[in-house]
A and B are shown apart, each in its own frame.
Chain A
Amino acid sequence: MTARKQAWFTFVALAIGLALLPLLVEAGLGRSWVRILDLTLLYIMLAVGLNIVVGYAGLLDLGYIAFYAVGAYCYALLASPQFGLHLPFWVLLPTGALLAGVFGLLLGAPTLRLRGDYLAIVTLGFGEIIRIFLNNLNTPINITNGPQGVNLIDPIRIAGFSLGKTQHLFGVTFSSPQLYYYFFLVLTLIAIFVALRLQDSRIGRAWAAIREDELAAQASGINLRNTKLLAFAMGATFGGLAGGLFAGFQGFISPESFNLMESIMILCMIVLGGMGNIPGVILGAILLTVLPEALRYVGDLQRAWIGHVVVDPADLRMLLFGFALILMMLFRPAGLLPSRRHLNELRHD
């Protein structure tokens, strides 16, 4: 019973902490940090989604950001002056997620026979193709508005309640980033819940089985094609959902937000945190979103102490990032919070 009480206590403390977080952050660090919190939630959602493909099913996907782009553009084109459409969010988000899921199948189908590095190259190409399409689909008919991107995207509006402007609720004033925080938090928790449930189910075991040994999985009655496609489609759906949220949140998107570096960052979140393990993946996403932002202060510090900027924070970011990855490989190759299964894989005893 005490263990149960303790679990309840942790849960309640966590809930209160998460609820108060944006209020405290805005008061202490300013509004821009609440926006960083919002982006962190989106990256958690992306990392949890990619973890289904890479961590659960073992399919190395380097073009995952393409699904984020599909979701974002789907939202942007259907809720902006670009085509003069302004659909409600409960149509936009599922449509974006579903469309991304379909793209997941489109990517999955031709790559069913590929594994490891071969699959990585094809998915990398896929990610770039989507970005280049978005960049160039402004002629002959202007669909995506090309490199200029789509502007003036509608903010998310729930039953007439816009998340895009300051609102007063229960005597408290909530800024737009704070409102988005609560909405993203709910969706992120749902995404985590879905991912956890999937992991510990017949489907999750089938994914783990094909990750371990495709032949043995087939001999155990697993339909390789369907199971792999399901992993691609599920992962892509998470990406598409996050993309839609991103478009509504930012109000502006352009193809350059969806480059290869982003795909690699999300993959790094998984690798850093612990592939296949949801708490690890969440930790990885938080670290890799928050730490680079914190590095911005390094520039100010240098100005204050030395008088001018010696090392550009942007350069420092990549340097530290590379350094962190090397340290990880040496000391925690299975991630900060590794999954039992992946940890075992790296032990050769």
Chain B
Amino acid sequence: MTELIKVTHVSKQFGGICALNDVSLTVYKGEILGLIGPNGAGKTTLFNILTGFYTATSGELSLNDVSMRGLLAHQVLQRGIARTFQNIRLFANMSVLENVMVGRHSRTHTGVVGAVLRHRRARVEEVAIRTRAHELLHLVGISRHSQTLAKNLSYGDQRRLEIARALASDPQVLALDEPAAGMNPAERDTLKQLIRDLRDALGLTLLVIEHDVPWMMSLCDRIAVLDFGEKIAEDTPANIRTNPRVISAYLGDGA
């Protein structure tokens, strides 16, 4: 297995609070890696560091053995890590199609001159953006809503749209922050299938944060467990289930 992302001894402090303490993690190409842990364990903080929204206080990050330290969010996306947000962040007053078209920004080049003159290259690119956006909407299964405003979509479809927008940047890695939050069991099952399909169809590597442990156990190839900013386990779902440190983190020391 090829190592894709390497997180080495990463710590993050907010003032006096240590949100992440010396976390090391390896993500292999093509796997679905789950990130679980109680509330406030530092899962989202790790996501934010990986995607350039926070800078690590110390430690090293690399993608394909190239350091990612100090990159800004849009630069991280350019390198190939796309993300979704825990509390859905769409461009609410833009159409579903436009949302995905914006997601294509990093892979396109038309500037002011091209936009105004609409020369051949700009027109070809615009058509390509639109075509790709339609394809992705079809892939996540919301193509019939392409002209709807993003904010008028149902909750589950908004999550799907966020995934489509992230995919528009042709990422190598897709990081999903609580993608199943607020979904009913049936929707969760479809989402699980979608995530697997995306990996198989696009050769993606997936990072998933989710609280629903049984759901994660059946989805992920491997699971890393965070607790109070420290990584306490990184293993296959079967081994995680029996890991005593994980059990005590979730159920307390008396268990």
Contact = CB atoms under 8 A, between A and B. Distances in A.
Contacts of A203: 110-112, 115
B118 interface: yes
A341 interface: yes
B249 interface: no
B169 interface: yes
A212 B77 contact: no
Contacts of A209: 91, 94, 102, 105
Contacts, number: 105
B165 interface: yes
Given A197-B116, A206-B102, A216 B82 contact: no
B92 to A, nearest CB: 6
Nearest to B115: A201
A220 interface: yes
B54 to A, nearest CB: 12
B89 A202 contact: no
A213 B85 CA distance: 12
Interface string B82-116: 11010001111110001001110111101110111
Interface SS of chain A: helix
Contacts of A219: 51, 53, 73, 77, 82-83, 85, 89, 166
Nearest to A349: B152
B157 to A, nearest CB: 16
A212 B95 CA distance: 12
Contacts of A201: 110, 114-115, 122, 126
A213 B105 contact: no
A219 to B, nearest CB: 6
Contacts of A212: 91-94
A142 interface: no
Contact of A206 (B77, B89, B105): B105
Contacts of A215: 53, 73, 85, 89
Q: 4 tightest CB-CB pairs across the interface, nearest first?
A: A221-B106, A201-B115, A216-B89, A212-B91
Interface of A: 193-194, 197-198, 201-206, 208-209, 212-213, 215-224, 230, 234, 341-342, 344-345
Given A208-B98, A222-B102, 20 more contacts: A197-B118, A198-B112, A202-B105, A202-B108, A202-B110, A202-B115, A203-B111, A203-B112, A205-B102, A209-B91, A215-B53, A218-B73, A218-B74, A219-B89, A220-B77, A220-B165, A221-B106, A221-B169, A222-B105, A223-B74
